[in-house]
Structure 1
Amino acid sequence: MRLLHTSDWHIGRSLHGTDLLAEQEAVLGSLADVVAAEGVDVVLVAGDVYDRAVPSADATAVLDRVLTRLRSAGASVVLTPGNHDSARRLGFAAGLLAVSGVHVRAATGLLDEPVLFSDAHGDVAVYGLPYLEPEVARHELGLSEARSHEAVLTAAMDRVRADLFLRPGTRSVVLAHAFVGGGVPSDSERDICVGGVDLVPAPVFDGVDYVALGHLHRPQSLSDRVRYSGSPLAYSFGESGQQKQAWLVDLDAGGLAGVRAVPLPTPRQLTVLRGELAELLADPDLAAVEEHFVSAQLTDPVRPVDPMRQLQARFPHCVHLEWAGSAQGADTRSYQERLSGRSDLEVAGEFVSHVRGVPATPGELALLGRALAAAAHEETLA
């Protein structure tokens, strides 16, 4: 049996306020091409199908079209909610969808009831673990004190292993959405928790043939049988240049037979540019990135006027801008320390220097002085 491991679709997510639905549909639709070309039997989606608990109508329409393409290409689908999803909303009409070959495993109480598939070697049990919020899941799993992801996932896997014990000879796959020890995060994931209580040791998932993980957006292998597929698109400029992929997983009569990466297309690349505004606008070597999503870090000593409009004239998909001209020698004193013993004119002059990157001219200081004197006179009259 051949499975395609994906996760973290985040349908509806934006990039610095720029809608990504077209890019998302393009890359997710390409999964159907992989299904057809590679003879995939089952597509796995390990959580964060949507980017928010209440997705937009446009986002749900994208998911509908993508799932339809996957089914038309010949694959069944098993998907689970992640921490961005609403399990109850995603699980709506799960019974009806299962009839069509799309299996949504969103109920904590049913996590030890697998989706069963068969091939020439027998059954394959696919267990979908929805994202387990410890404070909620511990009650559903009968845990009185434990309040960590490790505790609830251990209890969930105990149930999975107990069910597998009753299915001798059945090969097994688990989908889970968690931060597993050894994984390397990116800067586009939303923290599941703080203080380390979100970390789950990899041995929690012992006893199954393959573990399809979601949550971390960087594709990576924790072992031969425990892997993150990563997100199908780069969702932050920290991921620029990263090759996105899915895992093609083969099961034979003995269990896991092999795993290989399947590169995914990049509808629009992400590029970080750094330099002075005039240089970025004139550099002929940057013609190749004009249609990329661009993040610009400007190093001009003086903050340019209306830089985003000028950048977007050349780079229409520039979505992020920061001015790094005054980054060196930043004043780390507190606000009170910086004001202590200084006149209003000195404070105003320092504000000009901070915003613009160069000190106010004598003429500007004189103008500021007159404005401050007029304001003080008005306050006296009041």
Structure 2
Amino acid sequence: MRFVHTSDWHLGRSFHGAGLLGAQARYLDHLVELVRAERVDAVLVAGDVYDRALPGPDTVALLDDALVRLQAAGVQVIVSSGNHDSATRLGFGARVMEPSGVHIRTTLASVGVPVTVGDTHVYPIPFLEPSLVAEELGCEETTHAAVLRRVMERIRIDAARRPGRSVAMAHAFVTGATTSDSERDISVGGMGAVPVEVFDGVDHVALGHLHGAQQPRDHVRYSGSPVAMSFSETAHVKGSWLIDLSGATASHEFVEAPVERPLRRLRGELDDLLSADAYRDAEDAWCQVTLTDAVRPRGAMDRVRSRFPHTLQLLFDSPGSGADVRTYAERTRGRSDLDLCCDFLEHVREGVPATDHERDVVRDGLAAAGRARRRKDDEGHVADVGRGRSGAA
């Protein structure tokens, strides 16, 4: 049997404000072509199909189109829900779609019931919130590890009764795997970590949740997300696993996905970034730019985008000048009101000093405020004198 293992489509996700639906649609086109070219028997989607529980209409339409085309290609599609998915919404219509070869598993009741493809039994494990299912499963602890141990016991018992290979699908964080910035924590305080040994006893495990392709063990693999969703994924190679279980031993081939736009992280002073040939390959990339100028340049984002128009994130890391440990009184002693106002302006602009014109504007403002204060004081004095005379009379 030949399978494609994919996960973490996160349909509807944006990347620093830039929509990813076009890149995701391109990946799904690639997936359909891969299925046809490699004569794949089933596509395994290990969770986080959508990016949010309430996906937008265009996102739902994209998934609908992908499922129709995969079905037309004659492949079985097996989907398990992830922590970003709404189990109820993703699972709507699952029983109707099952006979047509689209198998969507989102509930605890479906765990341990395989989808059989040829001589291979695929056991989809939806994301299961421990606080909701631990008691029903008889877990001693309310953790993902405890829940998945119980679930895998159920799967191994069922698989032992069936001849052929067994494959488990899960959405989990396996201890020792490498994370990225774009994943939402499954739980806090280490309660979501699952030892890789939990998945022993089956021929292959197709995991989702982590966005970098990796293999905690040879038979336990993450496909990663097919599209990058954070600059921490700049070095990732995105794609899907092509798994062949036909021989005596399983074979795995990583098939790279198309890249809609590469990612680049740039760091340096602005003038150097705008002129150096070394950064030419970043001109068409999504860019994260960190400027190290001692003084923050004015109009920095506009200037950066003049060369790197797809810059999504601009950061500043100016060389530190050391902390000023003097008290506020010590720092302001002997400083004029004009100097203090200009110092504040420079502070909030992170090192950009006031120009001569700005100093003139502040000076005029202070003078006007002084005149208004003196006028108010004079008016108050006249009123006091008037009241005094009236009382004396």
Among 286, 295, 301, the residue aligned to 2:288: 295
Query: Are 2:48 and 2:84, in contact at CA under 8 Å, matched by a contact in 1?
Result: yes
Query: Are 1:245 and 1:262, in contact at CA under 8 Å, matched by a contact in 2?
Result: yes
Moved more, 196-205 or 29-38: 29-38
Query: Are 2:204 and 2:220, in contact at CA under 8 Å, matched by a contact in 1?
Result: yes
- Equivalence for 2:261: 268
Among 187, 195, 203, the residue aligned to 2:189: 195
Q: Aligned partners of 1:331, 1:128: CA distance in 2, in Å? A: 56
Q: Within 5 Å, which residues of 2 pair with 1:66-77?
A: 66-77=66-77
**Aligned partner of 2:189: which letter?**
G
Q: Per the alignment, in what secondary structure is the counterpart of residue 31 of structure 1?
A: helix
Moved more, 343-352 or 72-81: 343-352
Distance change (3 Å), C-alpha of 1:62 and 1:142: same
Query: Are 1:29 and 1:69, in contact at CA under 8 Å, matched by a contact in 2?
Result: no
Among 264, 273, 280, the residue aligned to 2:273: 280
Query: Are 1:268 and 1:291, in contact at CA under 8 Å, matched by a contact in 2?
Result: yes
Q: Within 5 Å, which residues of 2 pair with 1:143-222?
A: 143=139, 145-167=140-162, 169-222=163-216
Moved more, 232-241 or 353-362: 353-362
- Equivalence for 2:381: none
* 1:63 shift after superposition: 1.2
**Aligned partner of 2:346: which letter?**
V
Q: Per the alignment, in what secondary structure is the counterpart of residue 222 of structure 1?
A: strand
Q: Aligned partners of 1:330, 1:55: CA distance in 2, in Å? A: 48
**CA RMSD, 1 decimal:** 2.7
Q: Aligned partners of 2:169, 2:373: CA distance in 1, in Å? A: 67
Distance change (3 Å), C-alpha of 1:150 and 1:373: farther
Query: Are 1:79 and 1:128, in contact at CA under 8 Å, matched by a contact in 2?
Result: yes
Q: Aligned partners of 2:313, 2:347: CA distance in 1, in Å? A: 24
- Equivalence for 2:17: 17
Moved more, 277-286 or 81-90: 277-286
- Equivalence for 1:83: 83
Query: Are 1:349 and 1:365, in contact at CA under 8 Å, matched by a contact in 2?
Result: no
Q: Per the alignment, in what secondary structure is the counterpart of residue 288 of structure 2?
A: strand
Q: Aligned partners of 1:45, 1:379: CA distance in 2, in Å? A: 71
Query: Are 2:79 and 2:124, in contact at CA under 8 Å, matched by a contact in 1?
Result: yes
TM-score by length of structure 2 reads 0.85
* 1:127 shift after superposition: 0.7
**Aligned partner of 1:157: which letter?**
M
Q: Per the alignment, in what secondary structure is the counterpart of residue 252 of structure 1?
A: coil
Query: Are 1:247 and 1:259, in contact at CA under 8 Å, matched by a contact in 2?
Result: yes
Among 222, 225, 230, the residue aligned to 2:219: 225
The answer to whether the aligner puts 1:328 opposite 2:328 as a matched pair is no
Query: Larger Cα Rg: Structure 1 or Structure 2?
Result: 2
Q: Aligned partners of 1:259, 1:62: CA distance in 2, in Å? A: 28
- Equivalence for 1:305: 298
Distance change (3 Å), C-alpha of 1:306 and 1:362: closer
Distance change (3 Å), C-alpha of 1:379 and 1:296: farther
- Equivalence for 2:29: 29
Query: Are 1:46 and 1:212, in contact at CA under 8 Å, matched by a contact in 2?
Result: yes
Q: Aligned partners of 1:174, 1:332: CA distance in 2, in Å? A: 59
Query: Are 2:345 and 2:354, in contact at CA under 8 Å, matched by a contact in 1?
Result: no
Q: Which runs of 5+ in 2 are unaligned?
A: 378-393
* 1:30 shift after superposition: 0.4
Query: Sequence identity, in percent?
Result: 47
* 1:274 shift after superposition: 2.1
Q: Per the alignment, in what secondary structure is the counterpart of residue 166 of structure 2?
A: strand
Summarize deviations over 1:198-249 as a string: whole Å, max 9, x none: 1101111111110001111111111111111111111111111321121111
* 1:278 shift after superposition: 3.3
Distance change (3 Å), C-alpha of 1:158 and 1:338: farther
* 1:113 shift after superposition: 0.9
Query: Are 1:353 and 1:360, in contact at CA under 8 Å, matched by a contact in 2?
Result: no
* 1:289 shift after superposition: 2.6
Query: Are 1:174 and 1:208, in contact at CA under 8 Å, matched by a contact in 2?
Result: yes
Q: Which runs of 5+ in 1 are unaligned?
A: none
- Equivalence for 1:114: 114
Distance change (3 Å), C-alpha of 1:285 and 1:90: same
Q: Within 5 Å, which residues of 2 pair with 1:119-138?
A: 123-138=119-134
* 1:304 shift after superposition: 2.5
Query: Are 1:249 and 1:260, in contact at CA under 8 Å, matched by a contact in 2?
Result: yes
